[in-house]
A and B are shown apart, each in its own frame.
Chain A
């Protein structure tokens, strides 16, 4: 079974030989320093050069790491395209937004559209084309930062969150505009050769918003994206949400992606129990991946699977100083895991 087949069947809830082990890319960074050194495709150059970006993404798969390709390595591409100023970081620190284009919610119409012909948007699309042409039977993820997370990279987050109460109309207008742009960007990625759709929403969590605001401002827009793009995503659709999700199980039922990926603070067991219709993905602590021994990482990976994760994955984007051996050992844990719960 190829990695592509395995992920496709898993997302379709069909039987597979063993769980896939992937890391989405985008906000869920896949790149580590060791692979940068082996491939000679390093940060920060790899963020703005398609060849380096593709080489680094492929490298992590080729070195026995994640069983997929995922680009880019940050959550700043969409925000930058829409007007944010970004510092591209260093070899071991990811890019971050340094200046917001909006000083007030009223100015949301000043936001630029995401242009596929230029800047790092084009770099991502070109990198996807390069990865597709490698013609490996490996899933290629089209990554989108979720609309709330994009919004809070375009304006001071407190203004955005407060207007959910003070001026919900304007929040909806801004969210609609951002979502349209994300759908368009997602489509160009899928048309360039990506075959999995992933949306990562670190700032639009149940933990931050609570169930009422989550239902009003998060679910509808995430679903809009999934519904618009799922026919273009041959392998399936995944949504990653950070933070404690225990207050939004009912709301998560309404999310239309095939799988939900969670971070370390959410219990896989409880997600599986409360959302029996969903594939749950996650959630090896990224702190453990970076600092713990391989033996400990292996145990944690096994526990995720024993708790019911159908796709093994890190809890969040991995730190670039994560030792490659810890990623390799997590893959070994997935390979050795039989889905009836008994380990070989």
Chain B
């Protein structure tokens, strides 16, 4: 019995790395039919595979088109599993607000960060592209987010990130929400300069950073 479950978890993980949406869905269905613990299908199966894909990206084996295919497989697999998750698992999740700052529409990086953060068990509210600074802060307050994640690819829109940070006291969120930043023109020194709590260079590192920020790291 244990072997069968392990084999399915392995298949779930592989389906992501193999960019095989059909396999992810098929395997997820079989897993559910066997009544195994649904949360493990995500944590040790699908999310595990996405983590492997993220590593392949860091190692420059996989690039953006591959990661996009992997994330399709991930989401399709998750769609099968999610309805079977018990409610309490959902309540333990930290919430995050993510988006691309106002004036910018490049969002592939942001989408990948969102996926990686979801595999780290964050509940992510995605505000999309071209988001005014005040929207990030308002939404974070509304949903009780622990993290605001900001992305931009353009030097001309970087200011929006500092504006978000400056708005936090006005909404009573100073010290209550951690702000992390990323994107092509962003650097650790820029993040420090504007008072952000963290900077990450790619989606995998961003998810790890988010995890460490909420764990008081």
Contact = CB atoms under 8 A, between A and B. Distances in A.
B86 interface: no
Does more than half of chain A's interface fall in helix, strand or loop, or is it mixed?
Answer: helix
A267 to B, nearest CB: 16
B105 A162 contact: no
Given A158-B111, A316-B155, A213 B65 contact: yes
A165 B65 contact: yes
Contacts of A210: 60, 62-66
B72 interface: yes
Interface in A118-164: 157-158, 161-162, 164
Interface string A101-117: 00000000000000000
Contacts of A97: 105
Contacts of B184: 243, 265
A246 to B, nearest CB: 9
B68 A319 contact: no
B185 A287 contact: yes
A320 B158 CA distance: 13
A58 B101 CA distance: 32
B30 interface: no
Interface in A240-287: 243, 247, 265, 286-287
B155 A209 contact: no
B103 interface: yes
Nearest to B21: A166
Nearest to B19: A165
Nearest to A158: B68
Contacts of A162: 65, 68-69, 72
A96 interface: yes
Contacts of A92: 156
B108 interface: yes
Contacts, number: 56
Interface string B59-93: 01011111011001000000000000000000000
Nearest to A94: B156
Contact of A209 (B63, B103, B185): B63
B155 A286 contact: yes
A286 B185 CA distance: 9
Nearest to A90: B103
Nearest to B190: A287
A280 B185 CA distance: 21
B26 to A, nearest CB: 18
Contacts of A157: 108
Residue from B60, B69, B130, B156 whose CB has the most chain A CB atoms within 10 Å: B156
Contacts of A243: 184
A102 to B, nearest CB: 16
B103 A165 contact: no
A169 interface: no
Interface string B171-192: 0000000000000110000000
Residue from B64, B68, B184 whose CB has the most chain A CB atoms within 10 Å: B64
B105 A96 contact: yes
Given A157-B108, A210-B60, A247-B60, A164 B156 contact: no
A208 interface: yes
Enumerate the 4 nearest inter-chain pairs by beta-carbon distance, A residue then B residue, closest first.
Answer: A210-B63, A161-B65, A319-B156, A208-B64
14 contacts: A93-B103, A93-B156, A158-B68, A162-B69, A162-B72, A164-B65, A165-B19, A207-B63, A208-B108, A209-B63, A210-B65, A213-B65, A316-B155, A320-B156
Given A287-B185, A321-B156, 13 more contacts: A158-B111, A162-B65, A162-B68, A165-B69, A166-B69, A207-B63, A208-B64, A210-B60, A210-B62, A210-B63, A286-B155, A287-B155, A316-B155
